[in-house]
Amino acid sequence: MEKLLGKGGMGCVYMGVHPGIGSRVAIKFLHPQFSHDEKIVDRFFNEARAVNVIGHDNILKILDLNVTEGHRHYFVMEFLHGRPLQALLRHNVSVPLDVAGPILLQVCDALEAAHKRGIVHRDLKPDNVYLITMKGKKNFVKVVDFGIARMTDDAGISTGKTQTGMVMGTPAYMSPEQGSGASNKIDGRSDIYSLGVMMFQLATGRLPFPGSNFGEVLIGHLQVPPPPPRSLNPLVPEAYEPLILKCLQKKQEDRYASMKELKHAIEACMDQLRISKELPHSDDTDTDTQLHPVEVRPPSFPGARTPGRATGPGSKNRISNPNARPGGARPATRPAPGATARISQPPTRLTPAPQPQQLGRAPLFAGIGVLAALALGVGGFVVLRRSDAPLASAPVRAQTEIVRQEETPVFLSVVSEPLDAQVVATWKDGEKRGAAPLSLEVPRNAKVHFEFRKSGFIDYAMDVIADQPQTVQAALKAVPRPPPPVAEEGSERRSQPEKRRKRDRAPKVPDGVVDVLGDLK
Distance of CA 66 to the CA centre of its chain: 34
Residue 39 and residue 44: Cα distance in Å, rounded?
9
Residue 269 and residue 108: Cα distance in Å, rounded?
15
> Which of 167, 206, 177, 433 shows the shortest CA–CA distance to 321?
206
Q: How far is CA 87 from CA 127, 140, 369, 392, 516, in A?
A: 8, 15, 10, 32, 82
Dihedral class, residue 92 (left if φ above 0, else alpha if ψ from -120 to 50, else beta): left
**Contact in structure between 103 and 129 (CB atoms under 8 Å):** yes
Q: Which residues pair with 447 in a beta bridge?
A: 465
Instruction: Report the amino acid identity of residue 32.
Output: P
Q: Which residues contact 458 (CB under 8 A, 6 or more apart)?
A: 476, 477, 478, 479
Side by side, the strands of the sheet bearing 438-442 are 438-442, 410-417, 470-475
Query: Can the peptide bond before residue 242 be classed as cis, meaning omega within 30 degrees of 0?
Result: no
Distance of CA 256 to the CA centre of its chain: 17
**What is the radius of gyration, based on Cα positions, of the chain?**
29
Phi and psi, residue 3, nearest 5°: -160, 160
Instruction: Please provide the distance, in angstroms rounded to a whole number, between the alpha carbons at the two ends of the chain.
Output: 88
**Neighbouring C-beta atoms of residue 1, cutoff 10 Å:** 11
Residue 421 and residue 436: Cα distance in Å, rounded?
6
- Per DSSP, the residues of 121-133 read -S--SGGGEEEEE
286 is catalytic: no
Helices assigned H by DSSP within 300-367: none
The CA-based angle 442-94-191, given to 5 degrees, is 90
Q: How far is CA 198 from CA 164, 183, 193, 210, in A?
A: 26, 22, 9, 13
> Which of 455, 456, 459 shows the shortest CA–CA distance to 424?
459
**Contact in structure between 214 and 178 (CB atoms under 8 Å):** no
Catalytic residue among 109, 123, 145, 191: 123
Instruction: Report the amino acid identity of residue 191.
Output: D
Q: Which residues pair with 75 in a beta bridge?
A: 28, 65
**Contact in structure between 191 and 115 (CB atoms under 8 Å):** yes
Residue 469 and residue 486: Cα distance in Å, rounded?
52
**Contact in structure between 147 and 47 (CB atoms under 8 Å):** yes
Positions marked catalytic = 123
